[in-house]
Amino acid sequence: MSVLVFVEGLNGEIKKSSLEAASYGSQVAQQLGTTATAVAIGEVHEEALARLGEQGISKVLYDADSRLNQFVADAYVKVIAKAAQQENAKVLVFSNSNIGAAVGAKLAVRLNGALATNVTSLPKTDGGQFVVTRGVFSGKAFADVNLAGDVKIIAVKKNAFEITQAAGNTAMVEKLSAELSDADFAAAPKETVMQDTEGGVLLQEAEIVVSGGRGLKGPENWHLVEDLAKALGAATACSKPVSDLDWRPHHEHVGQTGITVSPNLYIAIGISGAIQHLAGVNSSKVIVVINKDPEAPFFKAADYGIVGDAFEVVPKLIEAARALDK
């Protein structure tokens, strides 16, 4: 039973979330006494693919068809299915990203596989079972799921696993061709799946996110969020009420009905912390909340909290961040 890991690229490099998935996949391969192979699609530097050996990947199958630079679900599924067939892979691993979730679901149907998303544990294989733990109810609870199908498909929750580093190890990179036709791209989206924020940092992949809510009182004060984000090299985001009021574009809305983020640091300014918003940020490693209301629900989920007026606190943070950069 071999393990196949789908890795996503961004600007020629492997996304952090995919490095986590590769680390997870190689650990699963060790459990099963086999090797882990990665499949990469689109525009990714071959040097970056070879470095996947540091995460325990022995081989990378790479389809460099330029039409795959933009995400098209049917075409991606065909490439990954070809790689799974070629490697006789019975365990497929993805990051629980927008792309990973979409492709994983389609592959489960195509390969008649068992799918688990938002996975937070390595599998337990005692007694012939294949049990993984996954987050449910927006991360408020966990469920153990036995993947009983012949093909097991796992979408790994972001920030749930550390990236392994075996310096000097390299993976062998081989060309892969799924012989795609124009029909495979018939459902190509008119827009890309992910968009940069105005600061130029991709929100879903940002290490730091600065987010604002109605506590900023109006779009004319959004420069506080943008200036702090610029000082920290962060992406900007907002709560749903802010996007509903047209203060900010919808693609910056973080929450249950918007974008899900998993940064190392999430700074919430003037956001009360409704459960719908928390559902989109609870995978963050560290959450900092700035709010003048000491009873704001967000403080219960925060690692650090500042009770104070954002118009007094944030300018001081911006000044301190800029001083560190000098």
- Cβ-Cβ contacts under 8 Å for 216 (sequence gap 6 or more): 222, 224, 225, 242, 269, 270, 310
Residue at a domain's end among 158, 185, 212: 185
The pLDDT tens digits for 90-111 are 999 999 988 998 999 999 999 9
Give CA–CA dist 204/237, Å, rounded.
10
Task: Give the residue-averaged pLDDT of 234-261.
Answer: 93
The pLDDT tens digits for 136-167 are 887 778 999 999 989 999 999 988 899 998 88
Output the average pLDDT for the chain: 91
Least confident of 162-166, 211-215, 236-240: 162-166
User: In this structure, what CATH number is given to the domain that contains residue 88?
Assistant: 3.40.50.620
Domain membership of residue 121 (yes or no) is: yes
Neighbours of 320 (CB within 10 A): 10
User: In this structure, what CATH number is given to the domain that contains residue 203?
Assistant: 3.40.50.1220
pTM of the model: 0.83
- Cβ-Cβ contacts under 8 Å for 127 (sequence gap 6 or more): none
179 with 279, same domain: the answer is no
156 with 282, same domain: the answer is no
Q: Cite the annotated binding site for FAD by residue number.
A: 214, 270-277, 291
Domain membership of residue 191 (yes or no) is: no
- Give the per-residue pLDDT at 191: 42
Q: Cite the annotated binding site by residue number.
A: 214, 270-277, 291
What is the tally of structural domains in the chain? 2
37 with 139, same domain: the answer is yes
> What are the E-state strand segments in 96-149?
114-119, 131-136, 141-146
123 with 156, same domain: the answer is yes
